Structure formats: structure tokens, C-alpha cells
Structure 1
Amino acid sequence: MAAVKLAQYLASILSSTNSDTNELRLKAVGSNFDLFTVYLENHNTGVHRYQTTNAMIFYEAGGKSNIKIHGQDFELGVGNIVFLPAKSDYEVQKQTKNDVLVKLDLNSKYNLQYFLGNITNKESREEQAIEQVISKLRVNRLLYLKSTPISKSAQLMNRIIDEYLNQNLFAESVVKAELNLLLVAAVRNQNFAAAPAEKQGFANATLESYIDANFADITLDAAAKYFGFNPNYFSSLVKQKTGKSFVEHVDERRMQEARNLLARPDISVKEIIARVGYNGKSFFYKKFNEYYHQTPVQMRAELFRQANINLK
């Protein structure tokens, strides 16, 4: 069934229903399909509040839907896809007659990790990409695929729903394969969008805590993986949200620690350089001078003077 025809068919189900339930179950032709159950969000009045029992996939087949997930507001446009783990809280705001939100409620034995884990013959970089996506799901408690109506991901979702409805031969095997293709395409392109920036799970205070605990041996890649982001995206996000680059945050924390250590007469400058995470004396001196406009030796002399420390 073509995407437009599928959306029209689903919209016709919503417009013809007399049910006042918040969601309408779409019955499949066969009875042996065991992957998921499909629901349509009904157009009845009021805010629809839920907590998922199993992992779920949302797909906007028509119009747009305003959804609050874990307290974050999303506006799903046509083609957008959201992956949710089990025990997720969400609300769907009032919809118009043009909105078609499809929800796939996965069987309890299936989740995103299951399908990603079943991808075979993975290279090390592919393993890393999958781990990064799983980490992002763990941190954000959702994955938001902001695909377009003509994207590969949207086409696959249309085919998945169509297979569910028609239950042709080998429907479950076909759907499993198409779900894998959907996730592979998303992981390959790293095109999972961020939640709204002002309500992102990542926050400046969280970043500072992470840097505070890891500044001596920190890397951008490790930090990005911890927060569940692609390194390039994470770097841009830090700059956007804080006004400073990731490197500037790290250097600032290292300089603070260096100043604290310079006040201790029992630690040499050489040891301080190693403790705060720099590899060479000249680079450390350059950074220190840029930050404090004096050398570490000058800073140490001033700190000793203020503390009445005389080593002569």
C-alpha cells in the first residue's frame, strides 16, 4: 500500500469510529503475528496520558502530533519516528482530524537492543556505533528519528504497518528484517535528532560534574559516549548551550586545579602538569599564561606570599 493511501486508510478509520477510548487497536488479518500490536491515537477530547508496559515505536503517518515524553515537548511531523523503552511516561495532546499517530506496542520479549543485537557480522566501528545509540537511548530514555515522508525510514515504517495489516506469507520474518533495516539506516547516518534543547537531559551542571570527575584524562569522544551523542553533535551542543567549547570547559577546570595545587609546597610543577592532564611543560605554561596572564612560578610565589609560606 502506498504511503499516501496508507495514511488515508488510517485516517478513515479514525474518522469513522464511535469509540471514546484513547487509542484504537488495529486488528491484523492473521492471528500468529507475535512482534507487536498496532494502535491509532484516537481524536477524542482531552489529554491522553500513558505509561508504557513494553517498548514502543511511534510513527506520524499524517498531520502532526504534540506529545510530551518524560516531561519534554515534541511536535512530530509526517515521517517522524520515536523509539521508547518500557515504562516510559508520555502524554498526547488533542489532535485534529488530519493527525494520524501510529503506535507499535512491542511484545515484551522485543526491544530496540534486541533488533540491534541481531545485526550480524558487525565490524568494530559498527559495534561502536550501535553501542553509542544504545547509550543515547539509556541517557535520554528515547530516540527521536526526525525523518521525512519520503525518507527510507518512513518508507520502511509504511511497509511494516502494511505487512501487519495484511499478514501476507512470512509477514513476521519480513517485518523483523525491515525493522533491522530501519535501525541500520538510522545508526549508519546517526540521524537521531535531539530532544528540545532547553529540556535536554544533558545540562550544564551535569557536564560540569562529569568534567570535574574526569578532567585529568578526559576526551571528547568519551564524554560524547557518556552523554549518548555523536562527538560532532555533542561538541556543537555544548557550545550552543553553554557558550563555551568542550575544550574550553576542560581547560578551565584544569586551570582551577592547577592553581589549587600550586598553593601546596609539597607538589612540584612537573607533578602538577601530570595531575591536571597535560602532556608537556611548554603547552601547560602556554595555557596557564593565557588563562592567568602569568607563569605558574609567578602564581606559586604569589600564593606562598599570601599564605606566609617561606621556603628559604
Structure 2
Amino acid sequence: MNQRVLNMLYTLNSLEKKQQKDACYLEELPLKAINKNISKKNKIKVVNNYFFRNKDIYVSKHNRFAPYPLHSHTFLEINYMLEGSAKQIVNGKSITLHRGDLLLLDVGAEHSISTLGEKDLLINILFRNSNINIDFLKDLRRSRSVLYDFLLKSPIKANEKQNFLIFRTGKSKKIARIMDEIIEEYFLKKEFSDTIIKSYLHILVTNLVRDYQFVEQEPQSKTRKIVIEILDEIDKEFNTITLQKIASKYGYNKNYLSNLFKKEVGKPFSEVVIQKKMTQAHTLIMSTSLPISKIVEAVGISNKSFFYKKYYDFYKEKPMADRHRNLINI
């Protein structure tokens, strides 16, 4: 992080000085930024699109030394823990963000933030983009990951409307670099910063979807933990994985593990592996110019006829027809 920007963020602004002195929250938003009718009806402060009069993205430092009351938004918000930690209540659930963690809040998510100390820096990124929302990210992730697909179908989540996602990215240097660039571009007021920040935002979201699991897991049984580990291995080693290898690794009888897996997941091990191979092949077909024969080899299938049959079963289209249609739509 640019030291000049870091110094700016640590420097107390006038409102922080007052909150530090009185230890109570002072309203920082103008009346224009709050939807009065909705707020009165729900008894919760609803922040509107006031911040986007001249831009699509608004970045700010969360003011320290006082708790921030329960509120919701008519836009998307990212909370990024640049330094320190922060406790929040999101839709009634208590969470703690640590250094490097990121919280994505969809439209309508309700949250409050506990008092931040002098060394805690929470960065708020507000943006409006109809193409980026929680459902889109979940659908995109589940289409790539057999593990995420399984977790989304968990009965624990069945009756919940999940409109926030937590990314435990504290150890990621890549995410830290992207966030540093966004923060520096905004606070140093560089030329074309709005355009550059929008580009970085897309890079950020793409990396989060690709590299990080964003289902907050409840405590799991021993059996479920093993199945989750196996699904994660399928996602990573789909082209070489076999039931025998997995059974040997975990010290189980092959038939016993097969029955255990099917009972937990609802599908046989072989079917889940094929599902992953097909989704990976589909990704390569739609995003690269690799010959189909090379893609078949890359996903670990030796029988081309088998591949074509399974691909058609999954996508109701032949691989080359899928690629051709995708090129037309670009």
C-alpha cells in the first residue's frame, strides 16, 4: 500500500475526532442519501444512490470510534478489512472480518458495524452494476465447482436468502494488490481513475469467483467433512482422480466409500467426476481455441465417443456447435 494513502487513511477526520471524544455515533450522511419513506416503514436506515451522481463507484474509509447502526442499501457494497479487524451483524448473523477479508453485500442486506479502534481500517466500496450480484456469482461458481454445487444444496441453506458473501482472503497477495490499486487510484485522484477502478473491480470479482470458496460452512460431521474434502479433490484433480486412489488415501474400503459418497451427495462418485470433466471441457471449448481432441485429453477422457455422448447429455449440443454459437454471440 502506498504510504501516503495509508497515512491519509489513518489520519483522523473531523467526525472521527468528535466520535473519539464523545464515544457515540454521529450521522455522517446528508438527508438526501437516506430513503425517508422506506426507512420509516422498516425502521432501518436505507441508503440510496446519492453517492453515484457523477460516478459508478464510490470508495470511503469507515469512520472509527463509534458503532454504526443497522442499515441497508439500494446498491452493492464491498467491505474490505485493510488493517485490523471489525465485528459486524449481517442479517442477524455475527461475523468478524480480519485483515485482508472481504464482505460483499447485495442490495437489501442489513448490517451494523461495531466500534472500530484506531488501528482498524475498514474500506467501503459502493458500486452499482446490474451484471454483478450475489445470485450471478453463486450460479457462476456452482457451474465450475462440484463442491460449491453440493454446499449450495445443503439443507442448512435451503430456507435462507443469502444476500451476502464472505471471502476469507487474508493470505492472498493477489487480492491485496488489486484492493491496494483500487484504494490508491481513488484516494490519490489519478486521471481516469473511475475507468481504471471499474476495470479492477471486474478483475477482483473474477478472481474471487475463480479462486475462493464463499459458502460459510456450519459445523460438519466427520462423514460430511470427508465428502467435502473428496469433492474439493475432484474439483482440483478431476482429470486423474479415481475412487480407488481416494479410498486408499482415506483408508476406506472402495465399496464402502462409494456407498458413503452416494448417500451424502445423492450421486455416484463416477457421475460427479464426469460432471466436473464436462463443465471443465465446456469452459475450454467456450474460452479457448484448443482442438476438441486436446480438450478431451486435457479433462482425462480417453474415449472420444464417450466424451461426445456425455457432452451432448449435459449441454444438448455438440462441442463444435457450442463453440461456433459462442463466437457468433461475441
User: TM-score with structure 1 length normalisation?
Assistant: 0.51
Task: State which drifts further: 13-22 or 52-61.
Answer: 13-22
Output one character per residue of 1:219-273: Cα deviation in whole Å (capped at 9) or x when no partner: x9xxx9xxxxx9539x9xxxxxxxx96633578xxxxxxxxxxxxxxxxxxxxxx
Summarize deviations over 1:191-244 as a string: whole Å, max 9, x none: 43526x26xxxx99xxxxxxxxxxxxxxx9xxx9xxxxx9539x9xxxxxxxx9
2:292 corresponds in structure 1 to none
Q: CA deviation at 1:32?
A: 8.2
Choose which of 33, 41, 62 in structure 1 pairs with 2:62: 41
Q: Deviations over 1:127-152 (max 9, x none)?
A: 9339x79x969953212111126521
User: How far, CA to CA, are the matches of 2:10 and 2:107 in structure 1?
Assistant: 27
SS of residue matched to 2:175: helix
What amino acid maps onto 1:187 in structure 2? Answer: V
Helix, strand or coil at the partner of 1:39: strand
For 1:248, the aligned partner's letter is K
**What amino acid does structure 2 have at the position aligned with 1:185?**
N
Counterparts of 2:101 and 2:165, CA distance in 1: 11
Q: 2:194 aligns with which of 172, 177, 183?
A: 172
**Alpha-carbon contact 1:24-1:42 (below 8 Å) kept:** no
Q: Which runs of 5+ in 2 are unaligned?
A: 20-25, 31-51, 222-226, 236-258, 267-330
CA contact (8 A) 1:63 1:78 kept: yes
SS of 1:49's partner is strand
Question: 70, 79, 82: which one pairs with 1:58?
Answer: 79
8 Å contact 2:77–2:106 — kept in the other structure?
Answer: yes
- Following the alignment from structure 1 to structure 2, what is the Cα–Cα distance between the partners of residues 183 and 72? 24
Q: Which residue of 2 aligns with 1:12?
A: 11
Name which of 165, 175, 189 aligns with 1:143. 165
Pair 9,158 (structure 1): closer, same or farther in 2 beyond 3 Å: same
The aligned amino acid for 1:144 is I
| Structure with greater contact order relative to length (CA < 8 Å, sep ≥ 6) | 1
Look up the equivalent residue of 1:176 and give its one-letter code. K
CA offsets per residue over residues 125-183 of structure 1, 9 Å max, x none? 989339x79x9699532121111265211211121121122332222221122111112
Q: Aligned residue for 2:179?
A: 157
In structure 2, distance between residues paired with 1:45 and 1:184: 34
RMSD: 4.4
Aligned in 2, Cα 1:39/1:246: closer, same or farther, shift over 3 Å? farther
Aligned residue pairs total 201
- Corresponding residue SS for 2:103: strand
Q: Distance in 1 between matches of 2:64 and 2:125?
A: 18
Distance 2:260 2:18 in 1: 53
User: Aligned to 2:144, what secondary structure does the other structure show?
Assistant: helix
Which is further off, 83-92 or 39-48?
39-48
Residue 9 of structure 1 deviates from its aligned partner by: 2.4
Work out which of the residue numbers 186, 190, 196 in structure 1 matches 2:212.
Answer: 190
Whose Rg is larger?
1
Q: CA deviation at 1:15?
A: 8.2
Q: CA shift at 1:41, angstroms?
A: 2.1
Which residue of the partner structure matches residue 263 of structure 2?
Answer: 248
Cα distance in 2 for partners of 1:16, 1:185 equals: 35
Deviation, 1:37, is 1.7
CA contact (8 A) 1:47 1:94 kept: yes
Taking the aligned partners of 1:22 and 1:161, their CA distance within structure 2 comes to: 24
Following TM superposition, by how much is the alpha carbon of 1:57 offset from its aligned partner in structure 2, in angstroms? 0.6
1:128 to 143, 165, 178: 143
1:153–1:182 CA contact under 8 A, matched in 2: yes
Q: CA deviation at 1:14?
A: 5.0
Counterpart position of 1:74: 95
Other-structure match for 1:303: none
Are the equivalent residues in 2 in contact too, given 1:54–1:86 (CA < 8 A)? Answer: yes
Taking a change above 3 Å as real, the CA distance of residues 115 and 128 of structure 1, as seen in their structure-2 partners, is: closer
CA pair 149-162 structure 1, distance change in 2 beyond 3 A: farther
- 8 Å CA contact 1:47–1:92 kept in 2: the answer is yes
AA matched with 1:18: K
3-state SS of the aligned residue for 2:79? strand
Identity percentage of aligned residues: 18
Of residues 88, 97, 101, the one that matches 2:118 is 97
* Unaligned ranges ≥5, structure 1: 26-30, 117-124, 205-219, 225-229, 236-243, 252-312
Kept after mapping to 2: 8 A contact 1:85/1:111: no
Shift of 1:82: 1.0
Aligned position for 1:283? none
Q: Secondary structure at the match of 1:154?
A: helix
Moved over 4 A (4+): 22-25, 113-116, 135-139
